[in-house]
Structure 1
Amino acid sequence: MGMEIKVWCLSCIIFGIFFVFHGDSAIVEQNPDRESLVSFKNSLLNKHILSTWNHNTRHCQWEGVSCQHNRVTMLVLSQQSLHGPLPDSLFSLSNLIVLDLSSNQFSGELSPKISSLRKLRVLDLGKNQFSGKIPMELGELTQLRTLELGPNFFSGEIPKEIGKLLNLESLDLSSNSLTGTMPPELGNLHRLRSLGLGNNFLSGSLSPTLLTNLKNLIFLDVANNTLSGHIPPEIGILSNLTDLFIGINRFSGVFPPEIGNLSKLQNFFSPSCLIKGPLPETIANLKSLSKLDLSYNPLKSPIPKSIGQLQNLSILNLVYSELNGSIPSELGNCSNLRTLVLSFNSLTGTLPENLSQLPMLSFSAENNQISGELPPWLGKWDQINSLLLSGNRFSGQIPPEIGNCSLLNFIGLSNNLLTGSIPKEICNAVSLTEIDLESNLLSGSIHDTFIACSNLSQLLLSDNQIIGSIPGYFSKLPLMVLDLDSNNLTGSIPVSLWNSINLLEFSASNNMIDGNLPRDIGKSVILERLILNNNRLTGNIPKEIGILDSLSVLNLKSNQFTGSIPVELGNCVSLTTLDLGDNKLNGSIPAEISGLPELQCLILSNNDFSGSIPSSRKSKYFRQTGIPDSSYVQHHGLYDLSNNKLTGLIPDELGNCSVLVDLLLKGNMLSGEIPKSLANLTNLTTLDLSGNLFSGGIPGELGGALKLQGLYLGNNNLSGGIPESLGQLNSLVKLNLTGNNLSGSIPETFKNLNGLTHLDLSNNLLNAKLPSTLMVNLVGFSCKKTGFQVF
């Protein structure tokens, strides 16, 4: 290679001298390579990018072009945003040694005529949008050292002709849509040092013969395919291997002990397979190993103590590996270990003190069964940025020494058995941005606990036993999420909290908070979720809440609010959930609510509302086909106005609310006929119209609501017969028609209601036989004051 470079440089010097004396004639000189390049440029859809490619300059001076003796030998145009197909004229550059068009937007199929570039040593077409099959004619480019074709959209099988490229040192076909098996002819590539086949749809097994023949491999990537079978012992032959990626496949069995022969291995990634444990003791021989990922495998064994001999290990990921036993203290000998991920296993015991010696940056052991007290030595991890120990059985108090972890960003200790007060020393970790202490037994007040957490953006303290009031200093912290649900908090919400310029989510449900919502709530202009249900809040809902056009969830259920719903709520155009149930609200339901375009959950039950159900031909609510990615819906498709004093008809427009899943209007004074349009609600699973004044017959169209599981029409003034079409409701579990004036027989189609478990037909004028098959699954049945026989 050194001699070639010298020859090339000498040629450039000679050509430069020639150009000085014959410059003008050189520019206009006809050259087949120049014509090929011009044709290539003209085929581009954005040819203006190659601005240096013009008639005033020799083609050997164009950007990306290198020549020897006036013939193009290198064309390197990576990352130029070029797009279009590759014209056949490009393949007329018969002296081309290097063709690099990577990281562009070339598309279309790769022509078999590429085989005319017989001198090519480097072909890099990676990171484009090529499609179709890889041409088998590539096998004729026998001088190739490097072949890079990924990522693209190539499909079909890997052509066996690639096995003819005996000089090939690097082959990358990764991130395409290739299918079939790895051709055995790849084993002919004895010089191959790098093989990338990952992110395809390859099947079959990892051939022992193939591994035996590729002894010079340094890099092997077959991850994210559908390969199966055992990992062959021949993997140990690849003694030069530094990188091995075999994860996200269907490999089964165990790791062969021969894997310990890979003494140069630095990166070993085998997540998401079906490999079982125990891990071989020979893993201790991988002295060069830096990163080991065996996550999402059913290892079902303890962590081997021998891993402690891997002095160069910096990352160990064993999440979701069905590990048991305790964390071995020998892990503390991995003196370079910076990231240790052991979450979602069945590990027991306590945290071994030997871990305190590690230069830890991230430690995660969530959702295990680790117990004991949190050790004070955690404070020795002065470089750690995340400590995740949620979902275990830790008890005792939070050690104040955690505050010594000055670089700690995120601490997660939720779902444990921690007790006592939260130490305010925790805020000595000045970099803290997220604290999650949910679902513990923590007590005491927080009146000055977090006052020094100047970078805190998320504080989760729900499901504890914290007392006292919500401190006013929260407004001075950069809090974006504040969750205080299910504690023993009292007092009122500090007015200053509504001045928080960063607050997106505030939740303090299930406490004993009193007072009212002040007009200052309108200052929380970026607030997205406000959840204050099950408290003792009083007064009116302030109209200023209508300023919050980013608000997606408003839950004020089970308080003591009075007055009417402010019409300004109709300005909260981002609302997906509005829950004002179980209060003392009155007046009419504002028509503006029906204009909320994102609303998919409306709960106004158990209040004192009067008037009619708002209707408008321009209504927008409950019509979305999907939930916005950034939104949370408390109960998707719930429309609950039950137990009020509503009168009038059910508006036909409700039948257009395609998102409706549960329509609950019971316990009102609604009248008229049940609208046939409700049958248009194809997602409807529960319809409860009981305890109203509906008259007329049961619309037969309801038999088309095939997802119905609960139909409650009891205690109305319905008359006529039961429609036969109701027998089509194969998903129906509960049917209640009690307390009406229904007459006639039970439809024979009811024998098809195999899933029905509760049936109440009492207090009607029915007099007929019940199908015997209907009685098989019933656990609740009432036909009081109605004559029935079973047939």
Structure 2
Amino acid sequence: MLQHQQKFTMAFLGLVVLLLLTFASPTSSCTEKEQSSLLDFLAQLSPGSDSSLKMSWVHGADCCTWEGVTCRDDNMVMGVSLASKGLTGSISPSLGNLTGLMNLNLSHNSLHGNLPIELVLHNSIVILDVSFNHLAGPLKELQPLNPNLPLQVLNISSNFFTGQFPSTIWSAMKNLIALNASNNSFTGQIPASICISSPSFSVLDLCYNKFCGNIPPELGNCTTLRLLKAGHNDLSGALPHELFSATSLEHLSFPNNGLQGVFDGSQVVKLNNLMVLDLGSNGISGKIPNSIGQLRKLEELHLDNNLMYGEMPSTLDNCSNLRYINLRNNSFAGDLSKVNFTLLDLRIADFSLNYFTGRIPESIYSCSNLIALRLAYNNFHGQLSSRIGNLRFLSFLSLTNNSLSNVINVIQVLKSCKNLNTLIMGSNFNGETIPQNEGIDGFESLRVLTIDACPLVGKIPLWLSNLTKLEMLDLSNNHLTGQIPSWINNLQLLFYLDISNNSLAGDIPIALMNMPMIQSKRNAARLDPKFLELPVYWTPTRQYRMLNAFPILLYLGNNRFTGSIPPEIGQLKMLNALNFSSNNLSGEIPWQISNLKSLQLLDLSNNQLTGELPSALSDLHFLSIFNVSNNELEGPIPTGAQFDTFLNSSYGGNPNLCGFVLSHCISASRHETSTSREHRLHLAVIFGLVFGGLAALALLACFLIAKLVYDDHTENLVLLQRR
């Protein structure tokens, strides 16, 4: 969708800029008035702005030679282009004094304050682009003096504008072609008069705002409108029938709103130029009609997260240009093999979270350019066809939560997909044995592998050690046995390992403490930064488009591990989540865990750990989930920082732990038991007798010594007196 928007906008920008540059002359010299206006603009910028601009814009020099400035033959400034120059400060209204200015581009900077209305209502500006700044406040509602403003392209996207969109301005925008106000905080209703005032209006992008109310029927008057985007707002109601009179529309996009009503195929097919239709994440109901096949130019169809139902129309195959189809999370049903997928341009298909039945349609393997296929959470059964090896560009495959069988066959046929980097196929293969064949090769590009909740039996197979690009491995909720293999640290890019809820045993190996990606942030540069073809859903509400956005975790919980927690655990400094719960671990909690400064979750509950909680754990300032319950810990609970927020349940089942969060410890500290008091009383008496006796003896000795000294001294005095 972004490509279409960029294509439309760049076409207009390119045409106008070309016309502007045709009249530009590098030998002209601007007037003193225009030089002064530009210097006023420069003066409004903050000292931290691009120094090269201040070196170029020098008083007395020809401003037509200044950086970013172009002039016409008549010495008038016609263009100021300062995109991505690191500009800070505010935009001076003095730019409005440039009476020949046609192109003003200040995008991708850090400018703040208001957008001077003098620029929007300028008598010569054709292109105004202030996108990707920090501009704020409402757009002023003023009646233009010029009833026929020349502005053709206005881009104010990705700022912090608020308030309702002004309506009186548009009455004078008779030449407006493209308006992009996306990614702001505009409120109120979508302005209805834009198309009436601007007969050539073609591009309207209002997505990521706070627009509310119904979609204006007047938008149907936009006979030249090619792109209409208003996704991620608070729009409601149904799509007005009048909208489908805008038959030039190529891109219609209203995702993530509150739209309702029935998907009316008889209206939609009027848009026979439509290339992108995106109505995802609304409350739209109904079926996909057979007439959908009449949209021969359709490239993208997004109907995900709605209330739609019924079978897939067989006519979908007539949309021969279809590249992207997303029907995720609806109530579509029936046998998908009724559709003859001979869509040679199909790149991405998501049919997940529906009620499709039968076998995975063989015809889908004819879509030779398919990159991503998600069939998860349906009722598909049977085996995977060997024809899937024909999909040589396939990089993303999700089959989870179906009733597929023969996991050995799946592994064998998929190893032919040399570009496969994400393979998600848990909750299938009920009770089968995980393939142990050491000779399994392929999967050279695999970055994600999940075979969870099947529940498979067997050991962690050796062939996994060949997946040298693997970053995420999930084998949780199976019946795997044996030990964690010593080769685990050969997976040098692995940062996400979940083998919880199995029957694995033995000690936690030191090899697990030597995982390069979990040890140092420097290693993160080795990860592939590319976006995934489809988002990966970690939870139903949390999705990721990049793997390096996932938490770095080590989940070993609910197994049969024994021995102590290796102190080398302190080497895994990048960990976000550590779960060793519900095992048979013993010994003390190593203080080295306090080295894991990025830790947000630490669960050591339901083991046989002893000793005190290391006081250094209070240095884990990001820790939000902490559980050491049901162990044999003793002594004081660390205090301060996060440890003042954890509940009693974090420590339950450790009768010898004490701290202010544990009420029984508070009671014990304030009201000692009679046994404890009696014990301490006996100790006090004994110490009192011993130390009291020693003190008495000391006092008596001092008395005797003093008396002897006194008597001796007295005797001497008597003798002296007698002499």
Q: Does 1:482 align with 2:367?
A: no
Give the deviation of 1:276 after TM superposition.
2.9
- CA 1:612/1:546 → structure 2, altered by over 3 Å: closer, same or farther? farther
Q: Does 1:526 align with 2:419?
A: yes
Q: Does 1:620 align with 2:535?
A: no
Give the deviation of 1:558 after TM superposition.
1.0
Match of 2:592 in 1: 677
- SS at 2:365 equivalent: helix
Matching residue within 163, 171, 180 for 1:293? 180
Match of 1:381 in 2: 271
Q: Is the CA contact 1:344–1:366 (under 8 Å) kept in the aligned structure 2?
A: yes
Q: Is the CA contact 2:606–2:631 (under 8 Å) kept in the aligned structure 1?
A: yes
1:217-232 paired onto structure 2 within 5 Å: 217-223=101-107, 224=109, 226-229=111-114, 231-232=116-117
- SS at 1:261 equivalent: coil
Q: Is the CA contact 1:392–1:415 (under 8 Å) kept in the aligned structure 2?
A: yes
Scaled by the length of structure 2, what TM-score is found? 0.74
Match of 1:606 in 2: 501
- CA 1:597/1:241 → structure 2, altered by over 3 Å: closer, same or farther? same
Q: Is the CA contact 2:622–2:642 (under 8 Å) kept in the aligned structure 1?
A: no
| More off after superposition, 686-695 vs 480-489 | 686-695
- CA 1:309/1:573 → structure 2, altered by over 3 Å: closer, same or farther? same
1:28-43 paired onto structure 2 within 5 Å: none
Paired with 1:369 and 1:339, the residues of 2 have a C-alpha distance of 20
- CA 1:276/1:547 → structure 2, altered by over 3 Å: closer, same or farther? same
Scaled by the length of structure 1, what TM-score is found? 0.68
Superposed CA deviations along residues 584-622 of structure 1, whole A, max 9, x for unmatched, are 111222122233222222111221112222223754352
Superposed CA deviations along residues 673-730 of structure 1, whole A, max 9, x for unmatched, are 3333222222223333333333444444434434334443344444x53365688834
Match of 2:217 in 1: 329
Q: Is the CA contact 1:658–1:680 (under 8 Å) kept in the aligned structure 2?
A: yes
1:736-775 paired onto structure 2 within 5 Å: 736-740=650-654, 742=656, 746=658, 750-751=659-660, 768-769=668-669
Q: Is the CA contact 2:102–2:125 (under 8 Å) kept in the aligned structure 1?
A: yes
1:598-677 paired onto structure 2 within 5 Å: 598-616=493-511, 618-625=514-521, 626=524, 628-630=528-530, 631-632=546-547, 636-677=551-592
- SS at 1:497 equivalent: helix
Paired with 1:140 and 1:635, the residues of 2 have a C-alpha distance of 56
Match of 1:457 in 2: 347
Q: Is the CA contact 1:468–1:488 (under 8 Å) kept in the aligned structure 2?
A: yes
Q: Is the CA contact 1:145–1:168 (under 8 Å) kept in the aligned structure 2?
A: no
Q: Is the CA contact 2:446–2:470 (under 8 Å) kept in the aligned structure 1?
A: yes
Paired with 1:302 and 1:770, the residues of 2 have a C-alpha distance of 66
Runs (5+) with no aligned partner, structure 2:
1-24, 29-34, 36-48, 531-545, 678-723
Give the deviation of 1:653 after TM superposition.
2.6
Match of 2:40 in 1: none
One-letter code aligned to 1:311: P
- CA 1:621/1:568 → structure 2, altered by over 3 Å: closer, same or farther? farther
Q: Is the CA contact 1:441–1:465 (under 8 Å) kept in the aligned structure 2?
A: yes
Q: Is the CA contact 2:56–2:67 (under 8 Å) kept in the aligned structure 1?
A: no
Runs (5+) with no aligned partner, structure 1:
1-96, 101-114, 116-128, 152-161, 178-198, 772-782
- CA 1:688/1:335 → structure 2, altered by over 3 Å: closer, same or farther? closer
Paired with 1:133 and 1:359, the residues of 2 have a C-alpha distance of 43
* Equivalent pairs, count: 598
1:28-177 paired onto structure 2 within 5 Å: 131-132=51-52, 134-135=54-55, 138-141=58-61, 144=62, 146-150=64-68, 167-170=75-78, 172=80, 174-175=82-83, 177=85
Superposed CA deviations along residues 54-113 of structure 1, whole A, max 9, x for unmatched, are xxxxxxxxxxxxxxxxxxxxxxxxxxxxxxxxxxxxxxxxxxx9579xxxxxxxxxxxxx
One-letter code aligned to 1:270: I
- SS at 2:488 equivalent: helix
- CA 1:140/1:507 → structure 2, altered by over 3 Å: closer, same or farther? same
Match of 1:366 in 2: 255
Superposed CA deviations along residues 221-272 of structure 1, whole A, max 9, x for unmatched, are 4555534347446964x33332233444224243422176343322222333
Q: Is the CA contact 1:639–1:664 (under 8 Å) kept in the aligned structure 2?
A: yes
One-letter code aligned to 2:479: K
| More off after superposition, 510-519 vs 464-473 | 510-519
- CA 1:130/1:639 → structure 2, altered by over 3 Å: closer, same or farther? closer
Give the deviation of 1:339 after TM superposition.
1.2
Q: Is the CA contact 1:327–1:352 (under 8 Å) kept in the aligned structure 2?
A: no
Structure having the larger proportion of residues in helix: 2
Match of 2:686 in 1: none
Q: Is the CA contact 1:308–1:332 (under 8 Å) kept in the aligned structure 2?
A: no
Give the deviation of 1:390 after TM superposition.
1.0
Q: Is the CA contact 2:388–2:413 (under 8 Å) kept in the aligned structure 1?
A: no
Superposed CA deviations along residues 33-65 of structure 1, whole A, max 9, x for unmatched, are xxxxxxxxxxxxxxxxxxxxxxxxxxxxxxxxx
- SS at 1:279 equivalent: coil
Give the deviation of 1:401 after TM superposition.
2.1
Match of 1:192 in 2: none
- CA 1:585/1:266 → structure 2, altered by over 3 Å: closer, same or farther? same
Give the deviation of 1:404 after TM superposition.
2.0
Give the deviation of 1:739 after TM superposition.
4.2
Give the deviation of 1:546 after TM superposition.
5.7
Match of 2:487 in 1: 592
Give the deviation of 1:311 after TM superposition.
1.5
One-letter code aligned to 1:441: S
Match of 1:276 in 2: 163
- CA 1:379/1:721 → structure 2, altered by over 3 Å: closer, same or farther? same
- Looking at both structures, which has the greater relative contact order when contacts are Cα pairs under 8 Å and sequence separation is at least 6? 2
Matching residue within 397, 415, 438 for 1:506? 397
Superposed CA deviations along residues 543-579 of structure 1, whole A, max 9, x for unmatched, are 4666323222211111121111112212212222211
| More off after superposition, 535-544 vs 450-459 | 535-544
- SS at 1:443 equivalent: strand
One-letter code aligned to 2:83: S
Q: Is the CA contact 2:57–2:66 (under 8 Å) kept in the aligned structure 1?
A: no
- CA 1:644/1:205 → structure 2, altered by over 3 Å: closer, same or farther? same
Paired with 2:469 and 2:443, the residues of 1 have a C-alpha distance of 9
- CA 1:574/1:99 → structure 2, altered by over 3 Å: closer, same or farther? farther
Coordinate RMSD, CA, aligned: 3.6
Q: Is the CA contact 1:738–1:761 (under 8 Å) kept in the aligned structure 2?
A: no
One-letter code aligned to 2:452: K
- CA 1:704/1:135 → structure 2, altered by over 3 Å: closer, same or farther? closer
- SS at 2:518 equivalent: coil
Paired with 1:579 and 1:685, the residues of 2 have a C-alpha distance of 20
- SS at 1:393 equivalent: coil
Match of 2:609 in 1: 694
Give the deviation of 1:344 after TM superposition.
1.9
Match of 1:195 in 2: none
One-letter code aligned to 2:518: F
Q: Does 1:201 align with 2:88?
A: yes
Q: Is the CA contact 1:701–1:725 (under 8 Å) kept in the aligned structure 2?
A: no
Match of 2:4 in 1: none
Q: Does 1:583 align with 2:478?
A: yes
- CA 1:166/1:430 → structure 2, altered by over 3 Å: closer, same or farther? closer
One-letter code aligned to 2:519: R
